[in-house]
Amino acid sequence: MSRILSKERLSENVVKLEMDAPLIARKAKAGQFIIIRIDENGERIPLTIADSNSETGILTIIFQEVGKSTFQLGKKKAGEELADLVGPLGTQSEIENYGTVICVGGGIGIAPIYPITKALKAIGNNVIGIIGARCKNLLFWEDKMREVTDELIVTTDDGSYARKALVTEPLKELMESRKIDRIVAIGPAIMMKFVSLTTKPYNIPTIVSLNTIMVDATGMCGACRCSVDGKTKFACVDGPEFDGHKVDWDEVLKRSQMYREEEKIALKRFERGEA
């Protein structure tokens, strides 16, 4: 059992939970994830760790309500407990002093890019952050990203806040005007695909996270099977981070849609109070 210490709604469908998880918080590294099970009948939900504090034992997760289980999790309140909380899992991010690094977070991807940005900055990298969302209401943690970057660029697709642009636009401008040594991008699969396509001509190492296609998160179900450099990989046990230039993005995009109809059915049943 793990107790929820606090809950905050960051936007209409984005929720932040702080959990009492001292053992996980003590070991968690940037890029790793946990598995949550809401109750004994619940499915396993893999969620990337957004922040952790080894001294207080507090683990922070941020998730978007998109399916039955995440909507159910979003209804939980501070003081309530979850049946299971397991982690940290997955391979931690490669954190070295590369020089100048751009960290790109799109939508809910702002949450998992934060600890990576923080770790890269802590060891002396010059870190430029780019965060974007469809509109102002979907942006969050701008202040926290400013704290861990030397420069932060904010974009919205509709121009409702900051610069009207996709994240790839300022990214391309930066690559054309400065020496960039590494890029890390996390967000929707389609965003990561186009970030990778944008950076490939410049031959700049580009790291992406395929956490969004994970289901079981132990390598057993095969839902996150993907092709990287022509080889079969599993996002949960081999990643979740990979070289974005070597990922078969068409395959990843297909996998992200695999259970769309089943998710719709489960959510409708949950809304009707049937499950």
The residue length of the chain stands at: 275
Q: Which of 6-20, 205-219, 230-244, 260-274 has the lowest mean pLDDT?
A: 260-274
The domain locations on the chain are 2-89, 100-255
CB 112 within 8 A of CB 186: yes
Fold of the domain built from segment(s) 2-89: Elongation Factor Tu (Ef-tu); domain 3 (2.40.30)
Residue pLDDT, tens place only, 83-108: 999 999 999 999 999 999 999 999 99
Mean pLDDT on 183-190: 96
pLDDT value of residue 215: 80
Residue pLDDT, tens place only, 219-231: 778 888 889 999 9
Q: Do domains 2-89 and 100-255 have the same CATH topology?
A: no
Q: Is the pTM of this model over 0.85?
A: yes
Mean pLDDT on 154-180: 96
- The rounded percent of the chain whose pLDDT value lies above 70 is 100
pLDDT value of residue 275: 64
225 or 185, higher pLDDT: 185
| Residue 274 clears pLDDT 80, i.e. is over it | no
Residue pLDDT, tens place only, 45-72: 899 999 999 999 999 999 999 888 999 9
CA-angle at 118, arms to 161 and 155, nearest 5°: 15
Residue pLDDT, tens place only, 94-146: 999 999 999 999 999 999 999 999 999 999 999 999 999 999 999 999 999 99
Under CATH, which architecture does the 100-255 domain have?
Answer: 3-Layer(aba) Sandwich (3.40)
Which of 27, 208, 14, 13 lies closest to 116, judged by CA?
Answer: 208
